[in-house]
Structure 1
């Protein structure tokens, strides 16, 4: 098993514009629905004409790195099982407001696909957690646009809504929860470590779950693939109030930005005072057990940290 050097870096979303003569110009964005249909056709063709090294996973040698390798079904590989028979899928609804687009498109279905080549022996992350991964981001044409191979990287899946930490693209945030982290961590004196039995596979997504009209993958409107090894998972508590961020997704829609109990414009998962009563959430842990969710002073069924009238 390869050793991985721990780095504290966060994946960011990069955008760029095209221009002539030094003047930046942006073409009007295309419609989400139009691009989604086009991307789905591209992804289906890719899934039907490509395979991965599943035989190596089935008979893994002691020095196997558990990295998924994709190749075309042709020639000596003509009898290989296509990805289309091995992936699973999920639909995510995306609206124009998710990209700040002017066209009014609401809840446009986007399908992402995932392949679990090795399930992993640890825990699965939620969409709000932090994950330590080795990964490559690849455009569907094979162009590698992001790579963290050889050393791992911490990804804050949710982020905090700032340019410095926007979280990861929606397709990866949704897709990575289908994998589990590794087990049996061995630390070495030189700062490296070894992890066994980690989750490994692919997340394949349309541009509407990625960069859409941004040119991060090489050009706009490109379906992309994340080839990942999920090494470790850390439960996130972005505002450090004692409530895991995923528990602050009140409506369980995986969108933490629309949960704002006191309606102060700050989502609960990054709000130090969720109910706006002037007492920090962490200070409403009455019994001091480190968990504010189980304290209900007035017995009305609402935890104190969400109840502005808890006396």
Structure 2
């Protein structure tokens, strides 16, 4: 994200710190938003009371009904039931350490989204009185987890969805429709500070904790680097989830000090320490060469070519994938095989074994440079490309 887009987001956040009530026809009274920490304490008390006074019914297809335990009822509360034990996701936001309760009915069988991917879900949203305020009615809907483009902003979804996996998609009939198997399914119980807080859409009260039951069906990976001159998202060639270097499924922008005033170092994935996290940085290692440039294959290494005097298939992409790829059997007319992933700095023989390694005396690449597990890929290695003398 470039600085202009970032400042625009901060402006919107600034505008969101107040709400307006009309005192009469001519005067508007500005009402400051409530303190986040104070509101969270009230929300958490309400959510825990809800969990202790309501019970849950889950069908074999993971459709969910939540209802209040009636007076004298023998149903086991959500809090006490053990079939789907309550889980907690710690979330730090706006100076508050939240604990977000959620249930996992099934984790899912596919890939996990990261917190900036786009997902396909079916869902239902209710208040703590179990009244429904939104639903996809069993139909899949697309949802962008990027908190900087989703409006109104709701921070809870991108914190919970990476705890689940998507399912597998199956074509049905001749109309192009699909069904899904093995999808992740659960319920999240969001305090208002991770929901709509003081600026909700129509039909939702201010400061309302929200409950979402959901099925995580599919995902689309994001590549978020933003070009200011063209006002477009162009990416750097590395999907955002692969720029999650610690592999926990979460990416954070340390420049967003309003939302993340105390972001710990282990949550900041910024290879060159320039203040821009890798998933928003066009030059991840700060060596003066863009990441996309460093991922670009040599022009003679696209499609069929020659390697060490032998015919060799380099793959059809113009850019190296993160790791080698196998052919997709669902597309029989295209061979997606990519035998090489993003390489590390070359480790083969020097051009002149009697001279020092340099831009004029480089090492050659060997097969392991493209495939070795744990290798430091060149777009994250400031020592490559070779620096000029």
Q: Same fold (TM over 0.5)?
A: yes
Answering whether residue 234 of structure 2 is matched by residue 232 of structure 1, we say no
- Identify which of structures 1 and 2 has the higher relative contact order when contacts are C-alpha pairs closer than 8 Å and 6+ apart: 1
State the distance in 2 between where 1:167 and 1:185 align: 32
Tell me, yes or no, if the aligned pair for 1:92 and 1:111 is still in contact at 8 Å.
yes
Match of 1:4 in 2: none
User: Superposition pairs for residues 181-260 of structure 1, below 5 Å?
Assistant: 181-216=166-201, 218-239=204-225, 240-250=235-245, 254-258=250-254, 259-260=269-270
- Once the 2 structures are TM-superposed, how far is the Cα of residue 215 of structure 1 from its aligned partner? 2.6
User: Superposition pairs for residues 226-305 of structure 1, below 5 Å?
Assistant: 226-239=212-225, 240-250=235-245, 254-258=250-254, 259-261=269-271, 266-285=276-295, 289-291=320-322, 294-297=342-345, 303-305=377-379
Tell me, yes or no, if the aligned pair for 1:143 and 1:218 is still in contact at 8 Å.
no
State the distance in 1 between where 2:292 and 2:163 align: 31
- Once the 2 structures are TM-superposed, how far is the Cα of residue 307 of structure 1 from its aligned partner? 3.9
- Once the 2 structures are TM-superposed, how far is the Cα of residue 204 of structure 1 from its aligned partner? 0.5
- Once the 2 structures are TM-superposed, how far is the Cα of residue 142 of structure 1 from its aligned partner? 3.0
Query: Structure 1 pair 214/246, CA: closer, same or farther in 2 (3 Å)?
Result: same
Query: Structure 1 pair 197/248, CA: closer, same or farther in 2 (3 Å)?
Result: closer
SS of aligned partner of 2:140? strand
Query: Structure 1 pair 128/167, CA: closer, same or farther in 2 (3 Å)?
Result: farther
Query: Structure 1 pair 83/24, CA: closer, same or farther in 2 (3 Å)?
Result: farther
Answering whether residue 118 of structure 2 is matched by residue 70 of structure 1, we say no
Structure number with the higher helix fraction is: 1
Match of 1:32 in 2: 36
SS of aligned partner of 2:200? coil
SS of aligned partner of 1:41? helix
> Alpha-carbon deviations, 1:77-115, whole Å to 9, x = none?
x222211123211221222xxxxxxxxxx3x22111111
Tell me, yes or no, if the aligned pair for 2:153 and 2:196 is still in contact at 8 Å.
no
Match of 2:359 in 1: none
Segment drifting more, 29-38 vs 184-193: 184-193
Tell me, yes or no, if the aligned pair for 2:321 and 2:342 is still in contact at 8 Å.
no
Q: Give the counterpart of 2:74 among 71, 79, 95.
A: 79
State the distance in 1 between where 2:126 and 2:378 align: 47
Unaligned runs of 5+ in 2: 1-12, 226-234, 255-268, 298-318, 324-340, 348-374
Structure 1 runs of 4+ aligned residues shifted over 6 Å read none
Query: Structure 1 pair 251/119, CA: closer, same or farther in 2 (3 Å)?
Result: closer
Match of 1:116 in 2: 104
Q: Which has the larger radius of gyration?
A: 2
> Alpha-carbon deviations, 1:133-159, whole Å to 9, x = none?
011222223343333224212222235
State the distance in 2 between where 1:88 and 1:211 align: 22
Query: Structure 1 pair 167/179, CA: closer, same or farther in 2 (3 Å)?
Result: farther
- Once the 2 structures are TM-superposed, how far is the Cα of residue 43 of structure 1 from its aligned partner? 0.3
